[in-house]
Structure 1
Amino acid sequence: MIHQYKLNGYNIVLDVYSGSVHVVDEVAYDIIGMYENSEPDEIVTAMMAKYGDREDVNEAEIQECIDDVTALKEAGKLFTQDTYAGMAFDFKKKSNDIKALCLHVAHTCNLNCSYCFASQGKYHGDRALMSFEVGKQALDFLVAHSGKRRNLEVDFFGGEPLMNWDVVKQLVAYARSIEKEAGKNFRFTLTTNGVLVDDEVIEFANKEMHNVVMSIDGRKEVHDRFRVNYAGQGSYDTIIPKFQKFAKARGERDYYVRGTYTHHNTDFTKDILHMADLGFTQLSMEPVVCAPDDPCALTEEDLPVLFEQYEELAKEMIRREKDGKPITFYHYMIDLNHGPCIYKRIAGCGSGTEYLAVTPWGDLYPCHQFVGDEKYLMGNVWDGVTNTEMRDEFKCCNVYARKDCDDCWARLYCSGGCAANAYHATGSIQGTYEYGCKLFRKRMECAIMMQVAKQV
């Protein structure tokens, strides 16, 4: 399978199963497009009809290009076959080891964002804070069920986790006290809306947090449209100076400024660049997840605008890098030479198997987006995963389990997509969220083009 597209002046050909990327001229681009379904003489005739009036094109050169395409095919760099299908259902079935937990230390929030998928942090239930005892048991559960894995990931999540900051610090201290004897290395992530960030939070996070996710939606008018407190006041002016100080203090440590765009700001590139101009260099912007009848919901009519926005962002990032002011956009991070491994490409994020979410009272769910949906309750941190049928269903959740992915060129880049988005869109974790697929494919085209631009 190949995927051909034109972007930013480049004619790009991706060989899906080898991962090879070819940048070619127009004639070679069209020859590759005809190669699999046409005889050589038919290709020569078609190319001469289209390009024969050009001085640099003749039948001999066209035939030479056809021969080059044949050589690339024989070398396994064009039109390669899928050799991974037989592996897909074996990878996840071999292990029940868990490598990551999302600890919901606070099912409450000091902001009242109307688009919040977590129902203002309550996850459609009661407000609650995780006790140290529940969190401690969750960490013990992770260690006990992590097998030979050394690096364990723990996300402090909410709601707003800083509303339970003392417990966060206690849990970090406990994890550090046991990791050496257990032969483990804990890597923590903190996700925060910034309202309660202060010098003590910054100092502790920069010492203990492997990553920090800071929530900003972009321009003041965009951010303050939804990210308001319970008095209806926007939070932009409160959080921006705190996050600027936080990001600067992070130094070389990882952080992300993460926003959400909706139907109301389909020109989201302006929001990303606004955050870049504020001094933030590691950025992410996610499409809203909400009911189709919600005023925030993205529409089919929005898609052409969103595609243009992703292209404009990619071009602007190229310009900024040339000017010595590079920024990182999460969805454009792609390594064409070294990764990810085929397991990751096939199996995806590991929700429901390697990765679980823990509620304030210790219940286990496949990930944070399933919390509160009792159909997806998998067990608890004392008894472990008791709903093994659900775990087995997630083990079979891979790119080859989704029939709609069979003909998709991006299948080994998205691993079949988000199980939660699929479930909310289709009622099945093995479905596909087609709107999200369209956005993902455009992002991958942009990401690959940016890598091409670095090489030519």
Structure 2
Amino acid sequence: MTTIKPMIHKYCQNGTYMLLDVNSGIINVIDKMTYDILDVYDGTNKDAVYEAFAGAYAREDIAETLGELDELIEKELLFAPMAEDFQVVAEEEPIVKSLCLNIAHDCNLRCKYCFASQGDYDTHKRELMSFDVAKRAVDLLIRSTEGKRQHCEIDFFGGEPLMNFDVVKQTIEYIREQEKIHDKVFKLSLTTNGMLLDPAKVKYLTENHISLILSLDGHPEVHNRMRPDAGGRGSYDSCAKNLVYAAEHRDGEEYYVRGTYTKYNLDFAKDVEHMADLGFEGLSMEPVVGDDLSYAITEDDLPRIYEEYDRLTDLYLQRMDEGRPFIYYHFIMDLYRGPCIAKRLRGCGAGHEYMCVVPNGDIYPCHQFVGQDEYVIGNVYDGVTDTKLPPLFRDMHVLNKPICCDCWAKFFCSGGCHANNIKYGGDIKTPYALSCKIQKKRIECAMYIQAVLAMRGQKVRLFGDDRDDCEGCGACE
């Protein structure tokens, strides 16, 4: 059991003073005097506040502000406590709820920043998953959740999954059969670079309700520089054409376009705007993660990146005003029906709720660990056989990470990516500092957008119904 101490975070964006009460999740827009007073006031030390601001603000104004803050404290909307007996319940056995199927360890692009080493995950062996392996993965997922959870998820991943489209189709058809037999509801998605996304595939994926994650890096010169094809030629023209067609023929089915920014395009708001102008409604731009200093992001780039997120925030609000809105993944912060506290603490669930299956049937904690033999935790024929790694990953919620416990953003970031923490933070308990700093900036922008839209009587737009229905998992008991 961990004590979660009261905490606030305040900042100023675009002349607006923002206040977050960390434990309650309440966001307030405040004035400059309140902002200053909260540098000193902790709910118990009024005399110190009067002394600190005697020459700056009138005593009666300070008293009025302190009274308003005390009202919030009394209602547990400021310096809110957490229940003393709160704990994150741990399952005895991993309940695999979501699978990434690396349906193809091959790719028709040679992206320079690819963590999967252009598709083969550093195995030097390009291969496609058989239907037998995919079928057994589905069966494993059903067995793991039988009697415990109705909703399951599978993402078809790679490499490039459309290089193995026949097995993708066979697997989808098998899943739809098994849904009826076992009373399951599968949410299916497919991540693709779009090179092979022809009208027939778009039609099939749309009719079968497959969510799409589509890859495009923005302007042609930006995209082509980092995402050449296997012959070294730029891939923008083919990718953009196919992705635009897919987006126009989604018939209401969910999709978003995901890009990556590097040191070469720190002005990535322009790339987001370019993709929005192509007609894409759902967008995301992720910072590159990599060791190649020619394109890798470093601490020196952070001031420029922060400025760009501010520009992107302004662009987001401007296009809403103009009636040309887009949905931006990192600005989604649903304060009305967002994830529960247990999910916020645990994040993606890699290694215990979410796992990755590769073409030979081996199971890894997630796709980021593929190719590292020490992280194989089982296979689709025998199930999850490792008894040490799943409990380790399960217990890596933010309350077991000392740095995260003292961080105001812990209920939004969930402690970061386990794989990146291990590789760049030094161990699974230590968050990757550079990623943390970028994440905090995005959260601040998202909260600012929430505040602006709330004052207008509007809400942040979501990807479809972006809510996971609670199924009584017991994690917050």
- The residue aligned with 2:107 is 109
2:28 paired with 1:22: yes
How far off its partner does 1:399 sit? 0.3
CA distance, structure 2, for counterparts of residue 83 and residue 160 of structure 1? 46
Question: Runs of 4 or more off by more than 4 Å in structure 1?
Answer: none
Instruction: Indicate the residue corresponding to 1:7 in structure 2.
Output: 13
**Residue aligning to 2:459:** none
| Deviation (angstroms), 1:230 | 1.8
Amino acid in the other structure paired with 2:114: C
What residue is the counterpart of 1:437 in the other structure? 436
Structure 2 counterpart of 1:184, one-letter code: K
| Cα distance in 2 for residues equivalent to 1:397 and 1:373 | 20
Name the structure 2 match of 1:368.
367
Secondary structure at the residue paired with 2:363? strand
Q: What is the CA-CA distance between 1:41 and the residue it aligns to?
A: 3.5
In the TM superposition, residue 105 of structure 1 has moved relative to its aligned partner by 0.6
> 1:69-95 deviations in whole A, cap 9, x for unaligned?
11211110111224478413x2x4355
Residue pair 1:85, 1:400 contacting (<8 A) in 2 also: no
**Change in CA separation of 1:303 and 1:196 when aligned onto 2, cut-off 3 Å:** same
Partner of 2:449: 450
**Structure 2 equivalent of residue 381 of structure 1:** 380
Partner of 1:161: 161
SS in 2 for 1:120: helix
- 1:190 matched residue in structure 2: 190
How do 1:270-419 and structure 2 match up within 5 A? 270-291=270-291, 293-419=292-418
| Structure whose residues are more often helix by fraction | 1
Cα offset, 1:178, TM superposition: 1.6
Quick check: 2:365–2:377 contact (8 Å CA) kept in 1?
yes
Secondary structure in 2 matching 1:123: coil
Q: Distance in 1 between matches of 2:267 and 2:236?
A: 19
Q: Secondary structure at the match of 2:392?
A: helix
User: How far apart are 1:8 and its partner, in Å?
Assistant: 1.6
Paired AA for residue 417 in structure 1:
G
What pairs up with 1:134-153 in 2 under 5 angstroms?
A: 134-147=133-146, 148-153=148-153
Q: Is the 8 A contact 1:227 1:235 kept in 2?
A: yes
1:216 corresponds to: 216
**Is the 2:258–2:283 contact (alpha carbons within 8 Å) kept by the matching residues of 1?**
yes
CA distance in 1, matches of 2:14, 2:186: 42
Partner letter of residue 226 of structure 1?
M
Kept in 1: contact 2:43–2:70 (CA 8 A): no
Give 1:38 shift: 7.5
Amino acid at match of 1:175: I
Deviation at 1:40, TM superposition (A): 2.2
Report the secondary structure of 1:49's partner residue. Answer: coil
Shift in alpha-carbon separation, 1:37–1:151, aligned structure 2, 3 A? closer
How far the C-alpha of 1:151 sits from its partner, in A, is: 1.4
SS in 2 for 1:145: helix
1:305 & 1:350 partners in 2: Cα distance? 32
| CA 1:209–1:424: 2 relative to 1, 3 Å | farther
- Between 445-454 and 327-336, report the one with greater CA deviation: 327-336
Post-superposition shift, 1:37? Answer: 8.0
Residue type of the partner of 1:181?
I
User: Conserved in 2, the CA contact under 8 Å of 1:32 and 1:69?
Assistant: no
Say if 2:283 and 2:329, in contact at 8 Å, map to a contact too: yes
Conservation of the 8 A alpha-carbon contact between 2:425 and 2:433 = no
Report how many residues are paired: 447
CA contact (8 A) 1:27 1:47 kept: no
Normalization by structure 2: what TM-score? 0.91
CA distance in 2, matches of 1:338, 1:138: 32
1:304 & 1:38 partners in 2: Cα distance? 36
- Give the aligned partner of residue 63 of structure 2: 63
Q: How far apart are the structure 2 equivalents of 1:131 and 1:356?
A: 18
In 2, distance between residues paired with 1:454 and 1:380?
A: 47
Superposed CA deviations along residues 5-63 of structure 1, whole A, max 9, x for unmatched, are 00022111100001111111111111222211873244234334124xxxxxx322321
The CA deviation at 1:210 is 3.5
> RMSD value over aligned CA atoms?
1.5
Given that 1:307 and 1:442 are in contact with CA atoms closer than 8 Å, whether structure 2 keeps it comes out as yes
Question: Secondary structure at 2:37's aligned position in 1?
Answer: helix
Instruction: Quote the Cα distance in structure 2 between the aligned partners of 1:180 and 1:112.
Output: 40
> Is the Cα–Cα contact under 8 Å of residues 8 and 315 in structure 1 kept in the other structure?
no
Match for 1:189: what amino acid? Answer: S
SS of structure 2 residue aligned to 1:93: coil
